């Protein structure tokens, strides 16, 4: 008896459902889905199914539900945090080729996408309509824009009015039923733009990592491309000095992009060549608040003028400089804006430019605690003999400065040996300690799920109730979060 | 002395042992004070009374009450300011009404820009503390004397939603579940993190607790929320002149300026609003109607009827107007107003808008822009009648072209006997017009004839209209009493099943405001 | 008459066009907006001091509020609730100091005379024999000794001992100074009527007092719902003033001022009724009173309900759309005219002032509630940093003095008459 009899039968059945060319059990192919950059334990699926339409998704999921096969959805060709690694075998349902941009409404400022639409694809298409998606920092061009929204990757533009990219979803449940959030389920509604209508609403599915169902369509917010921009830079020597200016700037509802980078991250994203990063890092200020004043088509210079004036007033109050250039970075404004507004375009993804590998740790915090948490990260790194100079730091105010997203990139050499073990040990230790100090991890990948849910009381219990209703057989990405 | 049967007596005595005799009542006169409100009708179907009113002091009291409910099996519901009692009025015997009137604490955290509030803290109270620190919290049409927590759990809509969005101000909440356990969401869930962030951890529970109208207490009792505060470019305190109802508040003109326009067609009106959205101007932009302007500003019934039906300006606009109110706020600096005004005037000219004449804008100063900030005209209808409206959600400004005619037509099928209010409608655009809640008003009255019409003609029509493809339009009063399970849901949606099963799992004895959101008894009958 | 829009259109009830008072329509119209429980939203500056209804703030249950009373009265009028059904009905109706704050707040958004509807209901309860036991001692005191403060009639004139002033029993007078029950018998407040008489005489007025023969004005029992008793005393007073040929009646008591000003004319009262505040301001403006002495003090002014909003709330005085009038500015002008004084306003003033807790019969019927209400007001005065609280009604003054003593704080209570006298 073949030790793969079950798999073989299932592969056969699935091929019968959606075609021979769309179901794979070749070991090399399976291996490609088994691991990513994270420390989530590599595990292989037993098969990979490529679905390109909602109908195919429904058929596959119904089959999987009937036969209790775990289903791990993958919308992105790249995976960084382990959400797409199957914890219990089963199948990967690869949606990367379900990648149509279904509709762009430039008046409602929405784009309706299928899960496989990438950041590069959508940004190029939107540009033709005078629109742009607010992307996270240097997003990978092959990353699914829907995955990015689901992962709550913060936008560089922390505007209230454009907050929460994902407006509504069409989601296939494990039963094969299709469920809509917002108004999308009503035939008369073109775009389904009301985020909340009935309970459950869209927010429940953000951060769910496909554990409640598979999203096959979503409306995401886009914005009009500004007619004019002016990038300005505020250097800081001490991180402690950054919090108040951020607050003040955001509380005056000013500007588009607003983010803080340390010298290493800043150098990493703007260096023309990988080998220039170290030198550039030494020339850039320790911390830079990047602020972009943007204006639409009507009297743009006037808008930028008053915002800049207001920014400089804040500068006087908090004793900081507002600069149009930075030493060591000629042509910075011209170079930086496309980096901020488009997916990464160089061949080596920015995370890997400095040392080849990168482990990320990110969480939400109140703005006044960024120095405290940064010091904690440095201290933990030192305990693990990790050079703090190799940690890149990025802080992103969100929701008009209500809170700040803190992102630490541990640049290391990569590989599978002792270095990896050390990096993993540091990562786990840092995560645990930061959480115990109140760093709020809202997107829960890998070990973070257990670290958070064992502390957060009844939250996981209620989620489990919802899970049991949405997915009674627990086939949807089992083993993730608290499921 | 408690009335009722043995079970009633027992419930009473146990409630007394939880909160103290002073804070429980089953007195028949006291019970009469908990069933009427603007949407309540007095027909037999709505003549339900609670049996007990209990006033808890804190979350722990509420936990004990809910655990008691599970032990003795009695239903309960909760309200904050009591403005939407029909969503919580009794439908079954032994109904306990939890009124958290003693829970009205407010704490402002300036650095995190949140207000942590208990259920009966009013919007005016929260604003009074927030403004001193340069912040404010938005106010819905319910008025500033309404509950801030209630308003944010329900709709979460504000006059300033153009900028500050709809339904996303909750930065974490504490809730007692139907089994008496406490659920904390957002960063509050993590010890040591405190209140500051509302998402997650992981899947966001606000997606379960906060639909367009909240969960209405069907998943337990919300005891605290952190509400996001918005920047406030105005004074630390409002300064008033005069005595009611002649009182006025003048907000500084270098921080707030209002503009009123009439557009020749609805299309031009919408196009202009789209341009305002594109230009990202305005602290508040509302699509208003003549009724709104006049009802907000008139101080007497006389004045209202005179203006609506005898003033040539309003009469003309009632017939052919498409009105927009734009309130510019100087968030960044005074120069923002100068800039936005220039942009606005350019847009107005492009779309052939007629600005209101000075004598009208002067008259409107009685209530604008202050009521956009601290609405004190609640029950704008009530002075001259009673509430009636057709409401719907729209998905964009362009969708107003669909919804307005539908809503107006629905009202006009009963005009007369409704007043002729014209062919315009109101919209609350949110997030620069990505979505809007719209309303078409009509005036009723407190009379048997009116109730007869609404109960036996209009409401049945409402339910029939819900089946119309693509429309979620209906006549108010839309109340929890009337939502029949599944009647509002898209065809073929598994939503009812999902709601019912979640409800059943969280509240197996079906005690938390039973029959609302999903009527488990009906659902289980199939 | 406003423009009608057709009898076939809602609203069809003329009440929605040409307002008139109707108890049933008033209580029916209530929409539970809860304005009645809070001060005007525009005036809210501190949450602690944002409530307007002492009854609701103290008791918490909504039955203890204007909205609650509307619902209860509605239920009774519709026959859904019998007067015997609820053992607490009398408390819901009578545990209210009739301050009128609810009425002022309600009129912000409605044309509803809620206070009048509730007072009419009190009257009905009394007439049908549903009387509050705690009221009985007050009625007995009135019947036996012509006062509502449980004192001997013979002692009523003691406040004026040694004062050179006409007694009306012996001589007629143009101006009757009506001291009132509180000022007549509360020795700690005797400086007020004594100073008042001195000032009136000093201004050249022909003043007379009733002394021991003075009768209660009936204000207290009117607010309690005993209109029959009130009428007896009102008619007696009107008769007496006619007898002595009085042209004016002056009082330093706001309760008395209100009832004489607003309700005596319906019973044939024709004399001009004035409060000392009006006289003082006039004399100051004329220069007849010179305020020479400095009083370097931070003071706050408490608006007595009956000198303020109640004046606009009397039956027949409500004109929709017009300001809730009262004597708000006059006392403030007087205070500001005193050299050295600094007037600081509390959070709830004028038409939305918090009550002192003495009115409506609650001082005697619900003493704890009455005390609590006064305690809250003193806390508010303290919160704004006032060294003294000034007012123009002896009932307020007594309640405040008691509250200050309970709190053990060194705040002073001034009647505006005494304050002016001190500055002269």
Q: DSSP readout, B94-134?
A: T-EEE--TT---EEEETTTTEEEE-TT-BHHHHHHHHHHTT
Residue B496 has a pLDDT of 86
Residue B471 has a pLDDT of 47
Give the Cα separation of B130 and C334 in Å (integer).
35
Which tokens hold the place of C163?
């004062």
Give the Cα separation of A329 and B41 in Å (integer).
70
Q: Is pLDDT above 80 for A309? A: yes
Residue B419 has a pLDDT of 87
Alpha helices in C146-243 (DSSP H): 181-185, 191-202, 219-224, 227-243
SS3 C202: helix
Q: Which residues, numbered 353 to 392 in chain A, qualify as contacts with chain B under a Cβ-Cβ cut-off of 8 Å?
A: 364-368
| Chain C positions in Cβ-Cβ contact with residue B36 (cut-off 8 Å) | 30-32, 71, 74
Owning domain of residue C15: 7-131
Q: Which of B487-496, C318-327, C361-370, C407-416 has the lowest mean pLDDT?
A: B487-496
Alpha helices in B133-205 (DSSP H): 148-153, 161-164
Residue A267 has a pLDDT of 97
- Same-domain status, C21 and C122: yes
- Same-domain status, C157 and C173: yes
| Chain B positions in Cβ-Cβ contact with residue C322 (cut-off 8 Å) | 245-246
| Chain C positions in Cβ-Cβ contact with residue B306 (cut-off 8 Å) | 2-3
Structural contact between residues B58 and B74, judged by C-beta atoms closer than 8 angstroms? no
How far, CA to CA in Å, does B427 sit from each of B284, B325, B394, B433?
12, 11, 9, 10
Q: Which of B151-155, C111-115, C384-388 has the lowest mean pLDDT?
A: B151-155
* Mean pLDDT of all residues in C73-95: 96
- Same-domain status, C255 and C241: yes
Mean pLDDT of chain B: 89
**C321·B299 Cβ contact <8 A:** yes
Beta carbons within 8 Å of C104's beta carbon, 6+ residues apart = B244, C52, C309, C312, C313, C324, C351, C352
For chain C, give percent helix, strand, coil, nearest 5.
50, 10, 40
| Chain B positions in Cβ-Cβ contact with residue A465 (cut-off 8 Å) | 502, 505-506
- List phi, psi (to 5°) of B354: -105, 120
Q: In which band, very low, low, confident or very high, does the pLDDT at B482 lie, cut at 50, 70 and 90?
A: very low
Residue A193 has a pLDDT of 62
Q: Is pLDDT above 70 for B3? A: no
In a domain, C2, yes or no: no
Residue A383 has a pLDDT of 97
Structural contact between residues A453 and A460, judged by C-beta atoms closer than 8 angstroms? yes
- What CATH number does residue C64 fall under? 1.10.1060
Residue C225 has a pLDDT of 97
Q: In which band, very low, low, confident or very high, does the pLDDT at B467 lie, cut at 50, 70 and 90?
A: low
Give the Cα separation of B163 and A427 in Å (integer).
39
At A357-383, the pLDDT tens digits run 999 999 999 999 999 999 999 999 999
Q: What is the H or E stretch that residue B429 is in?
A: strand B426-430
Q: Is pLDDT above 80 for C292? A: yes
- Same-domain status, C404 and C338: yes
Which tokens hold the place of A136?
């996270």
> What is the ipTM for the molecules in this complex?
0.95
Max CA pair span of chain B: 73
Q: In which band, very low, low, confident or very high, does the pLDDT at A149 lie, cut at 50, 70 and 90?
A: very high
A400 contact B CB<8A: yes
Give the Cα separation of C293 and A133 in Å (integer).
74
Q: Is pLDDT above 50 for B491? A: yes
Which residue on chain A is closest to B284 by alpha carbon?
A161
Domain total for chain C? 3
Give the Cα separation of B34 and A397 in Å (integer).
45
- Same-domain status, C89 and C16: yes
Q: C422: how many CB neighbours lie within 10 A of its CB?
A: 14
Residue B35 has a pLDDT of 84
C240 contact B CB<8A: no
Among C257, C280, C303, the domain boundary falls at C280
- Same-domain status, C119 and C184: no
Nearest CB among B30, B143, B301 relative to C41 is that of B143
- Assign domain A228-436 to its CATH architecture: 3-Layer(aba) Sandwich (3.40)
A179 contact B CB<8A: yes
How far, CA to CA in Å, does C358 sit from each of C37, C104, C105, C214, C390?
19, 19, 20, 22, 16
At B231-263, the pLDDT tens digits run 999 999 999 999 988 899 989 999 999 999 999
C109 contact B CB<8A: yes
* Mean pLDDT of all residues in A294-301: 97
Interface test with B, best of C31, C72, C83 (most B CBs within 10 A): C31
Q: In which band, very low, low, confident or very high, does the pLDDT at A188 lie, cut at 50, 70 and 90?
A: low
B113 contact A CB<8A: yes
* Mean pLDDT of all residues in B287-312: 92
In a domain, C1, yes or no: no
Q: In which band, very low, low, confident or very high, does the pLDDT at C116 lie, cut at 50, 70 and 90?
A: very high
Which tokens hold the place of C369?
């509630």
Residue A190 has a pLDDT of 64
Q: Is A475 left (phi over 0), alpha (psi -120 to 50) or beta?
A: alpha
Mean pLDDT of chain C: 96
At B358-414, the pLDDT tens digits run 999 999 999 888 999 999 865 567 788 887 777 777 778 888 998 888 888 888 888
- Same-domain status, C330 and C314: yes
Residue carrying structure tokens 């509803």: C112
In a domain, C346, yes or no: yes
Q: What is the residue extent of each domain of chain A?
A: 3-94, 101-224, 228-436
Beta carbons within 8 Å of B42's beta carbon, 6+ residues apart = B36, B451
Q: In which band, very low, low, confident or very high, does the pLDDT at A129 lie, cut at 50, 70 and 90?
A: very high
Q: What angle do CA B65, B71, B75 make, to 5 degrees?
A: 60
Q: What is this structure's pTM?
A: 0.96
- What CATH number does residue C145 fall under? 3.40.50
Q: Is pLDDT above 60 for C299? A: yes
Structural contact between residues C260 and C285, judged by C-beta atoms closer than 8 angstroms? no
For chain B, give percent helix, strand, coil, nearest 5.
35, 15, 45
Structural contact between residues B230 and A477, judged by C-beta atoms closer than 8 angstroms? no
* C-alpha B140, offset from chain centre: 6
Number of H helices, E strands in chain A: 15, 17
Which tokens hold the place of A140?
């990978």
Q: What is the fold, at CATH topology level, of the domain defined by A101-224?
A: 3.30.465
At A74-125, the pLDDT tens digits run 999 899 999 999 999 999 999 999 999 999 999 989 999 999 999 999 999 9
Residue B420 has a pLDDT of 87
Q: Is pLDDT above 60 for B2? A: no
Residue C422 has a pLDDT of 96
SS3 B171: strand
Q: Is pLDDT above 80 for C3? A: no
- Same-domain status, C314 and C393: yes
Residue B272 has a pLDDT of 97
Instruction: Tell me how close the Cα of C400 comes to any Cα of chain B, in angstroms.
Output: 26
At B83-116, the pLDDT tens digits run 877 778 888 999 999 999 999 999 999 999 999 9
Which tokens hold the place of C75?
């239920």
At C186-210, the pLDDT tens digits run 999 999 999 999 999 999 999 999 9
Structural contact between residues C390 and C344, judged by C-beta atoms closer than 8 angstroms? no
Give the Cα separation of C413 and C138 in Å (integer).
26
| Chain B positions in Cβ-Cβ contact with residue C81 (cut-off 8 Å) | 28-29, 32
Q: Which of B91, B17, B60 is nearest to B480 (CA)?
A: B91
Q: Is pLDDT above 90 for B31? A: yes
DSSP C338-403: STTEEE---SS-GGGPPP-S-GGGHHHHSHHHHHHHHHHHHHHHHHTT-SEEEES-HHHHHHHHHH
For chain A, give percent helix, strand, coil, nearest 5.
35, 20, 40
DSSP A33-84: TS--SS-SPP---SEEEE--SHHHHHHHHHHHHHTT--EEEE--S--SSSTT
- Same-domain status, C231 and C186: yes
- List phi, psi (to 5°) of A363: -160, 175
Which tokens hold the place of A475?
């086939």
Structural contact between residues C172 and C245, judged by C-beta atoms closer than 8 angstroms? yes
Q: Is pLDDT above 90 for B276? A: yes
Number of H helices, E strands in chain C: 19, 9
Q: Is pLDDT above 60 for C387? A: yes
| Chain A positions in Cβ-Cβ contact with residue B182 (cut-off 8 Å) | 457-458
At B330-349, the pLDDT tens digits run 999 999 999 999 999 999 99
How far, CA to CA in Å, does B187 sit from each of A227, A443, B197, B226, C352?
38, 12, 5, 10, 40
Which tokens hold the place of B152?
């944010």
Residue C120 has a pLDDT of 98
At A425-471, the pLDDT tens digits run 999 999 999 999 999 999 999 999 999 999 998 999 999 999 999 99
Give the pairing of strands B52-54 and A91-94: unpaired
- Same-domain status, C169 and C223: yes
- Same-domain status, C242 and C169: yes
List the end-to-end C-alpha distance of chain B, in Å, as a whole number.
41
**B301·C17 Cβ contact <8 A:** yes
Residue C62 has a pLDDT of 96
Q: In which band, very low, low, confident or very high, does the pLDDT at B476 lie, cut at 50, 70 and 90?
A: very low
Among C230, C260, C280, the domain boundary falls at C280
- Same-domain status, C114 and C198: no
Q: Check the CA dihedral A336-A340-A346-A352 and report its sign.
A: positive
Reply yes or no: is the peptide bond before residue A353 cis, omega within 30 of 0: no
Structural contact between residues C279 and C330, judged by C-beta atoms closer than 8 angstroms? no
Interface test with C, best of B31, B130, B244, B379 (most C CBs within 10 A): B244
Among C131, C150, C179, the domain boundary falls at C131
Residue A74 has a pLDDT of 96
* Mean pLDDT of all residues in C58-84: 96
Residue B475 has a pLDDT of 42
Give the Cα separation of A103 and C6 in Å (integer).
50
Half-sphere exposure of B516 (CA within 13 A, CB side): 29
Residue B45 has a pLDDT of 54
Q: In which band, very low, low, confident or very high, does the pLDDT at B470 lie, cut at 50, 70 and 90?
A: very low
* CATH of span A3-94: 3.30.43.10
**C324·B244 Cβ contact <8 A:** yes
The interaxial angle of helices A54-66 and A5-18, nearest 10 deg, is 150
In a domain, C302, yes or no: yes
């Amino acid at each position: 008896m073949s030790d793969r009899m079950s798999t073989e039968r299932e592969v056969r059945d699935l091929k019968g459902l959606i075609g021979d060319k769309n179901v794979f059990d070749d070991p090399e192919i399976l291996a490609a889905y088994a691991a990513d950059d994270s420390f989530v334990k590599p595990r292989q699926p037993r098969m990979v199914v490529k679905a390109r339409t909602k109908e195919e998704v429904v058929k596959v999921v119904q089959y999987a539900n009937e036969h209790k096969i775990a289903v791990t959805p993958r919308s992105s060709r790249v995976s960084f945090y382990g959400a797409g690694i199957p914890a219990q075998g089963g199948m990967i349902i690869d949606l990367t080729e379900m990648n149509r941009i279904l509709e762009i409404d430039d008046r409602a400022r929405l784009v309706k996408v299928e899960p496989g639409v990438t950041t590069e694809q959508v940004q190029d298409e939107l540009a033709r309509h005078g629109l742009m998606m607010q992307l996270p920092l240097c997003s990978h061009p092959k990353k699914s824009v829907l995955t990015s929204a689901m992962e709550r990757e913060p936008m560089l533009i922390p505007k209230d009015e454009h907050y929460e990219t994902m407006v509504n979803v069409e989601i296939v449940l494990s039963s094969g039923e299709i469920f809509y959030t917002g108004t999308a389920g009503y035939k008369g509604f073109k775009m389904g733009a009301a985020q909340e209508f009935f309970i459950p609403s869209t927010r429940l599915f953000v951060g769910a990592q496909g554990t409640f169902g598979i999203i096959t369509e979503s409306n995401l917010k886009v914005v009009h491309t500004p007619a004019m921009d002016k990038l300005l830079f505020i250097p800081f020597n001490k991180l402690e000095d950054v919090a108040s200016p951020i607050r003040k700037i955001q509380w005056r509802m000013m500007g588009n992009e607003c983010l803080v980078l340390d010298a290493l991250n800043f150098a990493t994203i703007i260096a023309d060549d990988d080998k220039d990063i170290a030198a550039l890092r030494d020339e850039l200020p320790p911390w830079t608040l990047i602020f972009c004043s943007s204006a639409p088509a009507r009297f743009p210079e006037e808008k930028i003028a008053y915002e800049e004036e207001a920014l400089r007033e804040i500068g006087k109050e908090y004793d900081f400089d507002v600069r149009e250039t930075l030493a060591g970075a000629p042509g910075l404004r011209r170079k930086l804006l496309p980096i901020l507004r488009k997916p990464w375009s160089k061949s080596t993804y920015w995370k890997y430019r400095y040392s080849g590998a990168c482990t990320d740790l990110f969480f939400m915090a109140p703005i006044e605690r960024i120095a405290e948490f940064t010091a904690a990260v440095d201290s933990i790194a030192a305990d693990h003999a990790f050079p703090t100079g190799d940690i890149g730091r990025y802080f992103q105010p969100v929701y008009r400065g209500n809170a700040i997203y803190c992102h630490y990139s541990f640049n290391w050499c990569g590989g599978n040996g002792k270095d990896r073990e050390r990096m993993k040990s540091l990562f786990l230790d840092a995560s645990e300690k930061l959480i115990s100090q109140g760093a709020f991890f809202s997107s829960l990948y890998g070990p973070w799920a257990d670290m958070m849910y064992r502390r957060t009381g009844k939250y996981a219990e209620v989620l489990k109730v919802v899970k049991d209703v949405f997915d009674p057989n627990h086939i949807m990405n089992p083993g993730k979060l608290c499921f | 002395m408690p009335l009722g049967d043995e079970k009633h007596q027992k419930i009473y005595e146990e409630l007394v042992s939880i909160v103290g005799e002073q804070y429980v009542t089953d007195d028949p006169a006291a019970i009469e004070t908990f069933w009427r409100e603007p949407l309540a009708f007095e027909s037999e179907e709505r003549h339900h009374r609670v049996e007990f009113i209990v006033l808890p002091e804190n979350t722990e009291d509420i936990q004990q009450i809910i655990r008691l409910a599970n032990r003795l099996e009695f239903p309960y519901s909760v309200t904050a300011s009591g403005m939407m009692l029909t969503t919580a009025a009794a439908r079954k015997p032994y109904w306990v009404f939890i009124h958290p009137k003693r829970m009205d604490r407010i704490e402002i955290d300036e650095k995190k820009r949140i207000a942590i509030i208990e259920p009966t803290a009013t919007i005016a109270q929260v604003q009074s503390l927030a403004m001193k620190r340069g912040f404010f919290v938005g106010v819905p049409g319910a008025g500033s004397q309404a509950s801030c927590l209630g308003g944010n759990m329900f709709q979460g809509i504000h006059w300033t939603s153009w900028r500050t969005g709809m339904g996303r101000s909750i930065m974490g909440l504490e809730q007692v579940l139907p089994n008496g356990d406490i659920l904390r969401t957002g960063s509050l869930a993590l010890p040591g993190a405190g209140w500051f962030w509302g998402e997650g951890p992981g899947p966001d529970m606000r997606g379960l607790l906060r639909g367009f109208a909240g969960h209405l207490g069907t998943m337990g009792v919300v005891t605290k929320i952190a509400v996001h505060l918005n920047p406030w470019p105005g004074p630390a305190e409002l300064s008033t002149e005069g005595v009611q109802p002649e009182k006025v508040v003048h907000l500084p003109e270098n921080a707030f300026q209002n503009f009123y326009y009439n557009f020749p067609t609805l299309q031009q009106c919408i196009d202009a609003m789209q341009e305002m959205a594109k230009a990202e101007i305005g602290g508040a932009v509302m699509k208003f109607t003549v009724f709104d302007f006049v009802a907000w500003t008139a101080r007497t019934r006389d004045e209202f009827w005179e203006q609506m039906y005898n003033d040539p300006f309003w009469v003309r606009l009632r017939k052919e107007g498409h009105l927009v109110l734009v309130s510019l706020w100087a968030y960044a600096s005074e120069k923002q107003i100068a800039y936005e005004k220039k942009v606005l005037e350019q847009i107005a000219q492009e779309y052939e808008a007629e600005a209101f004449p000075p004598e009208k804008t002067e008259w409107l100063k009685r209530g604008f822009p202050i009521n956009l900030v601290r609405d004190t005209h609640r029950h704008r209808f009530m002075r001259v009648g009673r509430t009636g409206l057709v409401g719907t959600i729209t998905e964009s400004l362009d969708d107003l072209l669909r919804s307005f005619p539908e809503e107006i037509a629905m009202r006009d099928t009963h005009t007369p006997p409704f007043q002729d209010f014209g062919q315009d409608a109101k919209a609350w655009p949110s997030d620069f017009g990505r979505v809007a809640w719209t309303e078409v008003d009509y005036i009723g009255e407190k009379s048997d004839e009116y109730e007869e019409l609404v109960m036996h003609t209009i409401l049945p029509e409402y339910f029939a209209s819900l089946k119309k493809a693509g429309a979620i339009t209906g006549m108010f009063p839309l109340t929890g009493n009337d939502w029949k399970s599944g009647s509002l849901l898209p065809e073929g949606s598994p939503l009812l099943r999902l709601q019912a099963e979640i409800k059943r799992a969280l509240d197996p004895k079906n005690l938390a405001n039973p029959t609302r959101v999903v009527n488990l008894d009906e659902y289980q009958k199939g | 008459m406003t423009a009608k829009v057709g009898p076939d259109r809602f609203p069809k009830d003329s009440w929605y066009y040409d307002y008139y008072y109707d108890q049933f329509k008033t209580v029916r119209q209530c929409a539970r907006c809860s304005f009645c429980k809070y001060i005007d939203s525009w005036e809210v500056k501190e949450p602690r001091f944002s409530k307007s209804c002492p009854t609701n703030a103290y008791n918490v249950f909504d039955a203890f509020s204007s909205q609650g009373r509307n619902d209860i009265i509605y239920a009774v009028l519709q026959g859904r609730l019998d007067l015997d059904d609820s053992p607490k009905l009398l408390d819901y109706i009578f545990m209210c100091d009739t301050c009128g704050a609810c009425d002022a707040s309600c009129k912000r958004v409605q044309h509803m005379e809620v206070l009048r509807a509730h007072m009419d209901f009190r009257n009905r309860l009394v007439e049908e024999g549903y009387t509050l036991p705690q009221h009985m001692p007050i009625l007995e005191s009135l019947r036996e000794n012509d006062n509502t403060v449980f004192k001997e009639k013979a002692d009523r004139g003691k406040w004026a001992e040694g004062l050179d002033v006409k007694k009306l029993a012996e001589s007629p007078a143009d101006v009757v100074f009506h001291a009132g029950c509180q000022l007549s018998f509360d020795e700690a407040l005797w400086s007020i009527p004594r100073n008042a008489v001195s000032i009136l005489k000093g201004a050249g007025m022909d003043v007379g007092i009733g002394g021991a023969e003075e009768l209660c004005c009936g204000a207290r029992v009117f607010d309690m719902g005993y209109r029959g008793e009130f009428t007896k005393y009102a008619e007696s007073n009107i008769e007496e003033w006619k007898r002595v040929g009085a042209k004016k009646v002056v009082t330093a008591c706001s309760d008395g001022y209100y009832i004489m000003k607003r309700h005596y004319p319906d019973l044939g009262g024709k004399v001009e009724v004035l409060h000392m505040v009006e006289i003082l301001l006039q004399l100051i403006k004329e220069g007849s009173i010179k305020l020479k002495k400095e009083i370097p003090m931070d003071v706050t002014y408490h608006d007595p309900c009956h000198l303020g909003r109640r004046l606009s709330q009397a039956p027949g005085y409500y004109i929709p759309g017009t300001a809730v009038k009262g004597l708000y500015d006059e006392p403030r002008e007087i205070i500001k005219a005193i050299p050295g004084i600094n007037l600081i306003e509390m959070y709830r003033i004028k038409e939305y002032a918090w009550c002192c807790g003495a009115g409506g019969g609650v001082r005697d019927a619900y003493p704890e509630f009455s005390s609590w209400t006064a305690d809250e007001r003193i806390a508010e005065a303290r919160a704004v940093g006032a060294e003294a609280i000034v007012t123009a009604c002896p009932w307020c003054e007594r309640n405040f003095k008691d509250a200050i003593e309970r709190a053990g704080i060194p705040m002073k209570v001034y009647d505006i008459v005494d304050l002016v006298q001190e500055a002269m």
